[in-house]
Structure formats: C-alpha cells, structure tokens
C-alpha cells in the first residue's frame, strides 16, 4: 500500500466519507477523496473535513481550498471549525481572482523600465 493511500476502508474513514457524501453530494466528495489520497495522512484529513462540514456547506466549491489549508496547518483546521464562515470568506477573497489587465500591464512596464533595450 503506497504512502498516503487510504488502503482498506477503515470504519472511521467509511463513516467520514458517508457523512461528507450525505451533506455535500457525490461529486464534491469524490474530489475531496482524490485530494486526500494525495496527502501523507488521508484518513486524518477526511476526519478533519468531517469536522468542517458546517464550513464546507457554507462555501460550496471550496473543498480544494480547505484541503490545502488543512495540509498547511493544524491550527487553521481548528480556526475553521470555530469560525465556519471564514472558509466562505477565504474562497471568495481576491486571492484566486486574476489581476485587472491594466494593473498587470502597469506592473510589467514598471519591472521592465530598468531593463536596457535589446536585452
């Protein structure tokens, strides 16, 4: 069994998967399971996602972001469970939105202004 594999479904993993599927639906949970299997502790991640159900229900489509945050820090998992609305806020933040074209062009011009022509 490779590291990070869920292996034979333990009762806790099966229960977490069933509860997540019941609350979020089959498609989103399949994506969460795929993301969990890519981590070093997929069973732990699934149980943490189960604890974050209120946050996941308030922020549809934020599952990949939640997985990334949970991998980054255990304290973020505790914070998200205490403040379920925070995941929705983070998922709608400008972090994932592209910069406006004019702003991008201005930043590029500023960066290239000190580069000699022909370089």
Residue 5 pLDDT greater than 70, yes or no:
no
- Structure token digits, residue 47: 């149980």
CB 13 within 8 A of CB 6: yes
Of the given ranges (31-40, 67-76, 88-97), which has the lowest mean pLDDT?
88-97
Residue 38 pLDDT greater than 70, yes or no:
yes
Q: In terms of pTM, does the model score above 0.75?
A: no
CB 76 within 8 A of CB 47: no
Q: Binning pLDDT at 50, 70 and 90, where does residue 106 land?
A: confident
- How far is the C-alpha of 79 from the C-alpha of 72, rounded, in Å? 13
- Structure token digits, residue 44: 């732990």
Domain regions of the chain by residue span:
11-112
């Amino acid at each position: 069994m490779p590291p990070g594999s869920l292996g034979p479904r333990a009762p806790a993993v099966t229960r977490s998967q069933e509860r997540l599927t019941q609350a979020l639906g089959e498609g989103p949970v399949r994506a969460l399971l795929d993301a969990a299997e890519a981590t070093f502790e997929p069973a732990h991640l699934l149980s943490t996602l189960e604890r974050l159900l209120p946050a996941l229900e308030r922020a549809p489509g934020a599952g990949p972001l939640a997985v990334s945050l949970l991998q980054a820090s255990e304290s973020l998992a505790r914070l998200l469970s205490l403040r379920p609305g925070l995941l929705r806020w983070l998922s709608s933040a400008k972090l994932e939105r592209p910069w406006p074209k004019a702003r991008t062009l201005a930043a590029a011009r500023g960066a290239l202004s000190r580069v000699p022509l022909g370089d």
